[in-house]
Amino acid sequence: MNTITLKTFKGQAGFSLAELLVACAMVGIVLAGTFVALQSGESAFQYSTGKVEVQQNARVALDRLIRELRTTSAVTAATATSITFTYTDDTNTAVTVSYSLAGTSLQRNQTNPVPAAAQPETLIGGINTLSLTYYDNTNAVTTTVANIRVADIRLITQSENTGLASYNLANQLATFEDRVRMRNL
């Protein structure tokens, strides 16, 4: 059996305290750089996700409103934030609907024929602004319902997640504008 003597350990040199401190500092710098890069990636992800959510929701709602307004056969009521009209759907059925802003939600209310789903139907939430401007056949702004032939729609939305702070990168705004000529009037 071999015995371990003090001479055995003298040939093996360890790390000094200064060397350990330098190594720990270098590892800390590398970890800090990694953390900053990870945090930047997370911010970019939140920004992109918030922007896509806002744009996609607004685009779907606005496309539906525009598609129905194009085939309008009669406008029955119109204000700066709502419109009620009758259009003909794909099955040649006359459908009476109204679009309006209720708080921060864009709502669609179908009254004829009465759908199976509960009404009004919330299309999207997180609406900051719904602005409707109406024009007659000479492209002059009008408030007379019988003269409406064209509508400008402006929709400004933000993320529906109200828990996001106003400084958060995911709290994105999207503005959509379009002009609709009502073909059947």
Instruction: Give 79-125 pLDDT, tens digit per residue.
Output: 999 999 999 888 888 999 999 999 999 999 999 888 888 899 999 98
pLDDT at 63: 94
- Alpha carbon distances (Å) from 9 to 2, 3, 4, 17, 101: 14, 12, 8, 18, 82
CB 172, CB 51: distance < 8 Å: yes
**Helix ranges (DSSP H) in 1-72:** 6-10, 17-70
Q: Is 60 exceeded by the pLDDT of residue 162?
A: no
CB-side neighbour CA atoms (13 Å) of 35: 6
pLDDT of the residue at 130: 94
Q: Is the pLDDT of residue 65 over 80?
A: yes
> Phi/psi class of residue 118: alpha, beta or left (left: φ > 0; alpha: ψ in -120 to 50)?
beta
Q: What is the pLDDT of residues 167-176, one digit of tens each?
A: 455 567 889 9
Q: Which residue has the tokens 């179908």?
A: 110
Tell me: pLDDT of 78 over 60. yes
Number of Cβ within 10 Å of residue 68's Cβ equals 21
Cα-based distances in Å from 94 to 106, 140, 184: 22, 28, 12
Residue 169, Cβ density class (10 Å: 0-12 exposed, 13-18 middle, ≥19 buried): middle
174 beta partners: 157
Query: What mean pLDDT value characterizes the chain?
Result: 87
pLDDT of residue 167: 47
pLDDT of residue 54: 80
Label residue 184 by pLDDT band (50, 70, 90): confident
